[in-house]
Amino acid sequence: MKTEIETIRGDTPGLSYELIVHRLTGSDPNAPRVYIQSALHADERPGVAAMHFLIPMLEHAEKDGRLRGSLTLVPHANPIGAAQHLFGTHMGRFSGATRVNFNRDFPVPGPDGSRVLDEASSPTFSERRLKSRLLELADGCPIVLDLHCDDEGVQYLYIPEVLWPEMADLAACLEAQAALLWDQGSDCAFEEAALEQMRAKAGNAGLSGHCVTTVELRGQADVDAASARRDAEGLYRFLQLRGVISTEDAQAPELRSDFVGKPIRHVDMIHAPAAGTILYHARPGDTVEAGALIAEIVVDPGVRDGTVEVHAPQAGYVLTRRSRRFIRMGDDLFKIIGEAPSVDAYAGALED
């Protein structure tokens, strides 16, 4: 494995950021190339923990001559966000300079695969340069994995509908409990831009054999050695199945019996109807009936009628919930995958 440290120049004199890039070289130029990054939202750590265990496994495969496809790994994909702390709290999801989500506004390539990056006119060139560089590193790779996590949630994936069910092998290897299938984007997330790169490269050949996804590795607090090792083993098994790593036994595991895979328009985003303290009655992984009590919000403690109840709008599967227990009115409270499309179906990003 070779490690490169690239410099992302900052927007003020004397400021720069380091982007660490690991490269492993496969023996077969026809084998799939792979790009994996984690911590694009810099305060999301389960992906970094998984990479900690995955990288040595890949190094061993490379040394033993079992690595067929080449890999590019970026375990800390957002050094800008990693440096943002306010009063002791890490602020890794949004840019402090632009207030834009770090996983939004990627420079989607044109039909020829090129991207336009105007240094002179960009008020935050460092962020634009970082986003463009991440896409450059992923360019030409038919397998692109972006490791994230949610607040509190099950293991799930965002998958382009055009690549389903072919990508069910990844869901099975990671023992994912759910997948959200999307067919259009509006926020220019990394996954969306990477898919457009793939389309530009593939042309008339189509996208069979390709894989691009945002992998949600449970919740922000789910960072421990056992979970990270399982995640790494699942990713490694997937790379074996896709022919990146040679193996004698490449049999795909089955999807979980309780797996839920639905188009993203089936997701009900449940917003807090009032501000206060959350008392949950449902947790990620639960199946709820229409009208079921899923939370109470304590507005006036100890007072009759001092709580506001939150009910499931339809029968469905609880995907995620907010981790903090004090919430403002209108904030996202739950994601629930409904049996039917949501009456407020989303075409783009589910949340900021």
For 159-187, how does the pLDDT look when each residue is reduced to its tens digit (9 = 90+)?
Answer: 999 999 999 999 999 999 999 999 987 78
Buried b (16+ CB within 10 A) or exposed e, 214-228: bbbbbbbebbeeebb
Same domain, yes or no: 149 and 32: yes
Instruction: Write the pLDDT tens digit of every residue in 57-80.
Output: 999 999 999 999 999 999 999 999
Same domain, yes or no: 68 and 194: yes
Would you give the end-to-end CA distance of the chain in angstroms?
36
CATH code of the domain in which 23 resides:
3.40.630.10
Whether 186 is covered by a domain: the verdict is: yes
The answer to whether the pTM exceeds 0.75 is yes
Q: Report the C-alpha gap between 349 and 340 in whole angstroms.
A: 19
Sequence-distant (6+) residues with CB within 8 A of 208 are 166
Same domain, yes or no: 140 and 273: no
Q: Report the C-alpha gap between 304 and 236 in whole angstroms.
A: 55
Same domain, yes or no: 147 and 275: no
User: In percent, how much of the chain has pLDDT > 70?
Assistant: 95
Whether 352 is covered by a domain: the verdict is: no
Look up the domain containing 280 and give its range: 265-338
Same domain, yes or no: 292 and 172: no
Q: Which residues pair with residue 332 across a beta bridge? A: 271
pLDDT of 123: 54
Instruction: Write the pLDDT tens digit of every residue in 329-342.
Output: 999 999 999 999 99
Average pLDDT, the chain: 94
In the chain, DSSP finds a helix count (H) and a strand count (E) of 6, 20
Same domain, yes or no: 324 and 302: yes
233, 258, 283 - which closes a domain? 258
- Quick one: average pLDDT of 192-199? 94
231, 258, 285 - which closes a domain? 258
Same domain, yes or no: 155 and 277: no
Whether 351 is covered by a domain: the verdict is: no
CATH code of the domain in which 277 resides:
2.40.50.100
pLDDT of 121: 42
Instruction: Write the pLDDT tens digit of every residue in 99-150.
Output: 999 999 998 766 665 665 544 445 578 999 999 999 999 999 999 999 999 9
**In terms of residues, how long is the chain?**
352
Instruction: Write the pLDDT tens digit of every residue in 200-212.
Output: 988 878 999 999 9
pLDDT of 349: 74
Quote the number of domains for the chain: 2
Instruction: Write the pLDDT tens digit of every residue in 7-39.
Output: 999 999 999 999 999 999 999 999 999 999 999
Same domain, yes or no: 155 and 274: no
- Asked if residue 343 has pLDDT above 50, the reply is yes
Same domain, yes or no: 201 and 88: yes
